Amino acid sequence: SQQGEEDPQALSIQEGENATMNCSYKTSINNLQWYRQNSGRGLVHLILIRSNEREKHSGRLRVTLDTSKKSSSLLITASRAADTASYFCATAPTGANSKLTFGKGITLSVRP
Amino acid sequence: DTEVTQTPKHLVMGMTNKKSLKCEQHMGHRAMYWYKQKAKKPPELMFVYSYEKLSINESVPSRFSPECPNSSLLNLHLHALQPEDSALYLCASSQAEGSLGKLFFGSGTQLSVL
């Protein structure tokens, strides 16, 4: 079963608005990663946040991590039509031989 | 070069065919992965190679046969597939095995089994 669960499952916003996506997970993690996927293409790594970090920024992206609540959020500020894609959180559980596990994904549509 | 290159981009095959998917990276990564992704679903891990050795097989049917000829190449040999195997097959690489680092993905092979 997937470790991460994103919500909402789908999000539609107007260009220029901010988009917030959430991810919850169940077990202890080493890190949590966010990926973007354009339709029919490969996934692109966006940002990685370690378990001892609370917030991280990369350009228009801001990721937070709350290990006590086992949750993370991805904020995309000043969204653009080109941000339209599916977004996945992926969790890296603690322990040897752990595997990156992807959530179900969020479909973001940014209307021009 | 931060690319993972997959060929072909599209593949249509019959259930009796044998075909191969190819993946190449020149980032010096020592771990390479095959994922399967159905439409509107997350990627599912199939195989992991670490230092050219198979380290994880997620109970994948034997009609899928991976091969790692060298540290830059990864193949997935397909034989006697079923229509339900139609999916996007993604190759990925990382600096080392384990989930501590980011994955670099190829653009995928869209496979249709007739």
- What is the tens place of the pLDDT at every residue in B52-69? 999 999 999 999 999 999
Work out the pLDDT band at B22, boundaries 50, 70, 90: very high
Q: Look at residue B99 and tell me whether its pLDDT is greater than 80.
A: no
**Is residue B110 less than 8 Å (CB to CB) from chain A?**
yes
The secondary structure of residue A65, as a DSSP letter, is E
User: Are A100 and B94 a contacting pair, CB within 8 Å?
Assistant: no
Q: Please count the other Cβ atoms lying within 10 Å of the Cβ belonging to residue A97.
A: 11
Q: Do B108 and A33 touch (CB under 8 A)?
A: no
- Candidates B78, B68, B61, B74; CA nearest to B112 is B78
Q: Do B108 and A41 touch (CB under 8 A)?
A: yes
Q: What angle do CA A14, A16, A21 make, to 5 degrees?
A: 70
Phi and psi, residue B61, nearest 5°? -60, 150
**pLDDT tens digit string along B26-36?**
999 999 999 99
Closest CB to B42: pick one of A42, A44, A103: A103
Rounded to the nearest integer, the mean pLDDT of chain B is: 94
| Chain A nearest CA to B114, separation (Å) | 19
Closest CB to A100: pick one of B41, B103, B108: B103
Closest CB to A31: pick one of B40, B42, B100: B100
Q: What amino acid occupies position A11?
A: L
User: Are B15 and B113 a contacting pair, CB within 8 Å?
Assistant: yes
Lowest mean pLDDT among A90-99, B15-24, B63-72: A90-99
**Alpha carbons B71 and B59: distance in angstroms, whole number:** 23
**Is residue A25 less than 8 Å (CB to CB) from chain B?**
no
B-chain residues within 8 Å CB-CB of A95?
A: none
Q: Do A104 and B42 touch (CB under 8 A)?
A: yes
**Is residue A104 less than 8 Å (CB to CB) from chain B?**
yes
The token duo for A51 is 């378990």
**Per-residue pLDDT at A97:** 64
**Alpha carbons B13 and A1: distance in angstroms, whole number:** 30
Find how far residue A101's CA is from the centre of its chain. 12
The token duo for B95 is 């600096």
**Alpha carbons A10 and B96: distance in angstroms, whole number:** 33
